[in-house]
Chains A and B, each alone.
Chain A
Amino acid sequence: MCGWRRQTDLTPSPLLRQETRLRREGARYAIIAPMITKRQLGYLFIAIGLLISAGAIGANLIGGRDAGFGPFQIIGIGAGVVIILMAIPLIKLGNRPA
């Protein structure tokens, strides 16, 4: 009788099983998030925008040429700025899934 009761006490409830599973899943995704949020997407946009702008500005240095600002660089900086501006509302949207 006691043994039966003890066994019953140790049997996890469905709720506990679910919690355990979620914890296990959580451990698996400890480094990699289960999904990307709007805020994270916003940060990604900013990173991309900065990269494009920096690439456009630094193109002369990398290319070793000093021909001034060309149309490619203007387009690059413009695109970078637009992407950064698009990111701002995304950051404000917080943890909603992207």
Chain B
Amino acid sequence: MNSAAIWALTQRELIRFLRQRTRIIGAVGQPIIFWVLFGAGLRTSFKAPSWAEALPHAMSYQEYFLPGVAALIVLFTAIFSTISIIEDRREGFLQGILVAPVSRLAIVLSKLSAGTILALLQAGLFLLTGPLLSLVGLGAPMDVSWTIPRIMMATAFLALIAAELTALGFMIAWPMNSTQGFHAIMSIFLMPMWLVSGAFFPGGDSGWLFWLIRINPLTYGVAGLRRLLYEQTLPVTPELPSMTMCVSVTLLTTVILTLLSGWQVSRASVRNAA
């Protein structure tokens, strides 16, 4: 019975998304613009990390940045999906769900599944078509060729990152009263988290930044995605962990964040009535 409820609430999110076109532009537009502009601007100053030597070609910054942009699209989609919790609470829809006989975890899972589907569609589309921008002169040519098995693996892994970030967004949005508060968290926590995930720049070999990157769970998401872009196996370095490591950390983080979100929702509190 709960799975029907999860699906109904997921559908609602998807319908709402399709009826708000600006959300699509917000979640996909900015990352693509970043990708093209930073790609052009940092082209000459970029120094490829050591693991890139395993590739048969010289790595451009735009190529390095590709999985990072996919992660950014996922992050933005997760933010937009979970910020709606604050709207739902304000509009009263959330209270209507809280008084319904559905398990509290189902409420979390419905947000997660909607956020994941939307992120997957948008980031997946970008990963498939982004490299084609080089054909019109907006990007450097890159050696990313997709095969069916890798597309499937990348889809599954992207879904995992999407669930992870949506669960994170859920945890942040749940106790919030205003969308402004969420925007503040986004600028001081979520964006920096993305910046130090190896998405935007390689981390180097030592110092605080190196450690920050290593303890950031998103690093393992971006690195896993990066590995799935290439046919050949890249060497394991501190900033490019093994695929097993990437999957384990991302999976574990997702499970922990989901359970924490479920716990948050199940605490009946005065907040629910607000």
A and B associate: no
**Which chain B residues have a beta carbon within 8 Å of chain A's beta carbons?**
none
**Which chain A residues have a beta carbon within 8 Å of chain B's beta carbons?**
none
